[in-house]
């Protein structure tokens, strides 16, 4: 999956993703079958637990989509069992400094380079990958992604880009705008030069450069102009709510004609 993601990026094609917040495996599989390149399974702002993550990883693969898991925090204890489940990418939220970014990278690596304990199962394809091949090579196939969602991260972004072991960056406009005193207003005019700065640093970095946001044509177009190669929009909950609301409205319309 890693190579497939970067093949799209290198061809100048957009990696198209969506978010999973309720964690129902059938919905995750269905979203993959819709054609999304990647499914973001969120543990930070949801009730999704480890069991559900595992089932959603299986569902994402069944639907043909890469699995991106955002862990609840930059904590190697929280991160370790998720990595052992074999996601295609792991996302560390709210990283603000180079030191925190190095810690995230170390959480993904085995000693002496890192501090990850050994115990993969699904990541080994249940034993179809040899232990030596995995620890020497295959574990590096997982993308390690930092979220840029605080002004401190923007201020040291060039240093973060230069760090070894980070494969990509995904901007979180809501928290980033909140760190600038504009919580709930990610499109505030004060944020535009900050977003432009991020684009100038990341556009030609050779890394995955994405944004996670609600879909608005004009705002998405602005991010495309800044050079993003990855876009996550929408949620499983949103799709169900929108579809159910539309159906209910139609049922009401028909019932008034009886």
Picking from 57, 147, 134, 143, the residue whose alpha carbon sits closest to that of residue 108 is 143
d(CA 83, CA 76): 10
Q: How many other C-beta atoms lie within 10 A of the C-beta of residue 101?
A: 24
* C-alpha to C-alpha distance for 118 and 122, rounded to whole angstroms: 13
Nearest to 153 by CA among 170, 167, 129: 170
69 vs 86: CA distance, rounded Å: 10
Burial class of residue 241 in the structure, from the number of CB atoms within 10 Å of its CB (0-12 exposed, 13-18 middle, 19+ buried):
exposed
Q: Which two tokens stand for residue 98?
A: 């180079």
The catalytic residues are 45
| DSSP result, 157-185 | HHHHHHSTT--EEEE-HHHHHHTTT-TT-
212: nearest Cα among 168, 153, 172 = 172
How far, in Å, CA of 239 to CA of 241, rounded? 5
């Amino acid at each position: 999956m890693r190579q497939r993601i970067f093949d799209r990026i290198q061809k100048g094609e957009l990696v198209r993703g969506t978010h999973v917040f309720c964690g129902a495996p059938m919905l995750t599989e269905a979203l993959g079958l819709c054609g999304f390149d990647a499914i973001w399974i969120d543990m930070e702002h949801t009730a999704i637990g480890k069991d559900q993550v595992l089932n959603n990883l299986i569902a994402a693969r069944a639907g043909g989509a890469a699995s991106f898991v955002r862990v609840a925090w930059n904590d190697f204890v929280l991160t370790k069992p998720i990595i052992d489940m074999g996601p295609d990418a792991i996302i560390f939220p709210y990283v603000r400094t180079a030191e925190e970014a190095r810690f995230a990278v170390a959480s993904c690596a085995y000693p002496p380079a890192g501090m990850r304990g050994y115990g993969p199962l699904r990541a080994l394809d249940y034993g179809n990958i040899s232990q030596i091949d995995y620890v020497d090579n295959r574990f590096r196939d997982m993308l390690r992604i930092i979220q840029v969602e605080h002004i401190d991260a923007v201020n040291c972004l060039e240093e973060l880009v230069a760090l070894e072991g980070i494969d990509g960056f995904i901007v979180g406009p809501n928290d980033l705008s909140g760190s600038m005193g504009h919580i709930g207003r990610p499109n505030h005019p004060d944020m535009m030069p900050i977003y432009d700065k991020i684009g100038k640093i990341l556009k030609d970095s050779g890394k995955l450069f994405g944004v996670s946001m609600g879909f608005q044509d004009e705002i998405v177009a602005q991010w495309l102009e800044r050079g993003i190669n990855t876009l996550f929009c929408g949620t499983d909950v949103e799709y169900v709510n929108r579809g159910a609301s539309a159906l209910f409205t139609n049922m009401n319309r028909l019932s008034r004609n009886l």
